[in-house]
Structure 1
């Protein structure tokens, strides 16, 4: 059946034809007859207001819309605009529905409501708009009198049922307002029934937080090829190279051999083609908008899902070392050998404890595992070590583990562990006065170490995230660890290993317990 019998952007004049068109959601959204949007502008004033016609990425999303949706995307693809219109359309044409949009802050919420939701409603064709009178018109909500449906924009939605919910820029909410992100996860998302629709959308904000975790799970499910249940998130990724507008005249900026190699690697990874015009646009945008800062380009205009979450090397203690470690194959499958296992600890001042498990084969460090816990006592860690079945060579503890603690035991951590694990050797690594000297030692010894990818997965993530504090007053990173993101314990525990290596403590213990070739048989 034909979708349209009238000219583009013109309402049907025949009453029956109009009713038929209005009953079709696809016509309402795709025809350009109902909804108008504001754009950044063109050559004339009228060009700032245009009929809405979904672009390529928006059409792809509509075709794949699911009950739970997670969008990882490049900037300026219009998803907030699209979903605002989807929700408005649903509220206009369906009774007793509650549609909501959560924004990162009050200012963003007001802007979305004013410039997308209310603007689209007020610019409906007059014969259509009079059908949908308002019962309430506030700064954040439209309640329709004809069917008791509403659309609302806020920073949180906890009470009642939300049949359609869009969480805009959730990555930024997680990075800037972690308590608000928790409220979204525990309060707003459960308000969406299983037969409703939830869309979480954002550019990336680093490899941590609720948005990162949700993205990882959704992406894993997507590539596993398993059919989603109503509780599963469908993964939607939209790269910059999928937008036909992101192109410019080839040759406008120079492109280095290394940059061409980057594009070729993306093509191989994503099975796409990035032409010279697209490459020129990318490099021009990188240089002009982000002053060559690749990590900002990765975040705002990702080429691959993994790239979206790559973090800046600036302010990160081990970022370059982690790159070098991966390039030389230092993160691999490391089998556990019939050798003693040495552990290296950091016991946080608050609630965290981190432990690395390392074997030494001919002076080669083989990091076979990592473990961390929170809000646990020493008995928990003793039980975990005993459950591994390893033959332990020694346990290296930070300097303050030798300090007696006031309390029920009036004993040091070392004393308590020795009572919990009798017969085990516990060593104290002397305190280092210069943190950067310890970090340099860690960098030095990481160059000869091999980490088991599976057993050390969380620990490697912690090393990647170990960063300096950022001083907003001075607008720069300062040489103090940022302990707020939970990465310092793992980094400090690994530093105990490097410091023990520097002092010869490891070599002294592993020499007598290490691997020895069996004596050659007497062949005579």
Structure 2
């Protein structure tokens, strides 16, 4: 076998050195990780072929509706970059295989074709690109199919992704692990010695025009805001102005707990709570809590254990709805637990949009205790409009993991504005307010 030099970004040299079961790389745009893993996949195929080892190299992604969505073009480009690989491989419009027929490349989407991977034959290697959305169920199915081994080698899993959420399955399995058989590295644009001039212009453009997106896109940070998020600019401004940091509880001022009510069971909506104090014109956000599928007693215990037994529990309109079986509501159950409660009436059609606009009006006065509200900040940064891509129209807030915390936060903004609205109604002949103004503490 002829010795050749393969150029890689320095951070990936250790990743591809020695024995491993998993080799991984994560980071932002322009890092060269995808191109490098494609190159090493075809090199590994060449090594297998020269050693008279036959089988399939599988290139997978979570979503692949056609070969246009696959890594096929990356594999072709990697082969064309190296003369010795061009001599070894045969490239067709829809296939790549060695001329001696020992090694062939296959392409699959894990969301639809995961079960068929078991019957693909002898898998020598599997590279999963754009792996962030791959589910834990898919990993559990895929990994046992990589069971081939021989003298000095075993079937490996290679994984590349752009981080999005810290609780993604790929993060837990391959980034935050002590398994010595997993070799991985974070790699970003500054680690790529061949970072293109065109991407440098794009990078600088994002830094100047889309600073809220820049850390995620280019530096491999988790997404704190996404494109189209309702509060993206407001969160960015809060960071720049130092309103996300350390915020202490004022022992003399009232505590308020703003709820979005979930349910029990594995598939139930989550329950979310924000702990807030109104001090003068400032809104101090002290804490955030979210739990899925837990009974009310669990949420109450968190309030007590966290020192919020005196908090006024502000509930959405369904807080007064009685359970059909037990004839009890969240409101009465909390009162039985010796909490004061306040239920915000149903705002009717457009309630979600009203909450969003109320938050936007209030945001410049909001301060967050970062250490205890990290999960809630993630939710606010993610909360975005669902769109009909074909018609190009908005369909209102997307109901997903972030919406529960966002709804509870919106309830807080509505409640903050309520005394002023009621005061105006009274001044201009409307009904007078019976609520105690938040200015009283």
Same-fold call, TM > 0.5? yes
- Which of 322, 347, 357 in structure 1 is aligned with 2:261? 347
1:88: Cα distance to partner? 0.7
Where does structure 1 lack aligned partners over 5 or more consecutive residues?
1-20, 31-52, 175-179, 222-227, 249-277, 515-524
Q: How does 1:214-293 map to 2 (within 5 A)?
A: 218=175, 229-230=179-180, 232=182, 234-239=184-189, 242-244=192-194, 246-247=196-197, 286=205
Q: Does 1:61 align with 2:18?
A: no
Q: Does 1:426 align with 2:341?
A: yes
Query: In the comparison of the two structures, how many residue pairs are matched?
Result: 398
CA distance in 2, matches of 1:383, 1:210: 28
CA distance in 2, matches of 1:71, 1:457: 22
1:73: Cα distance to partner? 4.2
- Which of 329, 350, 370 in structure 2 is aligned with 1:412? 329
CA distance in 1, matches of 2:412, 2:202: 46
Matching residue of 1:370: 288
Using the size of structure 1 for normalisation, the TM-score is: 0.62
CA distance in 2, matches of 1:330, 1:296: 19
Shift in CA distance, 489/477, structure 1 to aligned 2, threshold 3 Å: same
1:359: Cα distance to partner? 3.3
Q: Deviation string for 1:477-510 (max 9, x for gaps)?
A: 34x11113x1111111111211111123999376
8 Å CA contact 1:166–1:198 kept in 2: the answer is yes
Q: How does 1:3-402 map to 2 (within 5 A)?
A: 21-22=1-2, 27-28=3-4, 30=5, 54=7, 56-57=8-9, 60-65=11-16, 67-75=22-30, 77=32, 78-94=35-51, 95=53, 99-103=57-61, 104-105=63-64, 106-107=66-67, 108-109=69-70, 111=72, 115=76, 152-156=106-110, 159=118, 164-171=125-132, 174=133, 181-189=135-143, 191-192=145-146, 197-203=156-162, 206-207=164-165, 210=168, 213=171, 218=175, 229-230=179-180, 232=182, 234-239=184-189, 242-244=192-194, 246-247=196-197, 286=205, 302=218, 304-306=219-221, 309=223, 311-312=225-226, 314-339=227-252, 340-348=254-262, 350-361=268-279, 364-402=282-320
SS in 2 for 1:170: coil
1:380: Cα distance to partner? 2.6
SS in 2 for 1:323: helix
Higher relative contact order (CA 8 A, sep 6+): 2
Q: Does 1:501 align with 2:424?
A: no
Deviating more after overlay: 463-472 vs 432-441: 432-441
Using the size of structure 2 for normalisation, the TM-score is: 0.73
Q: Deviation string for 1:337-372 (max 9, x for gaps)?
A: 535532110114852211111234556433221111
Q: Deviation string for 1:420-454 (max 9, x for gaps)?
A: x1x22111012334433332322333322321212
Deviating more after overlay: 315-324 vs 351-360: 351-360
1:90: Cα distance to partner? 4.2
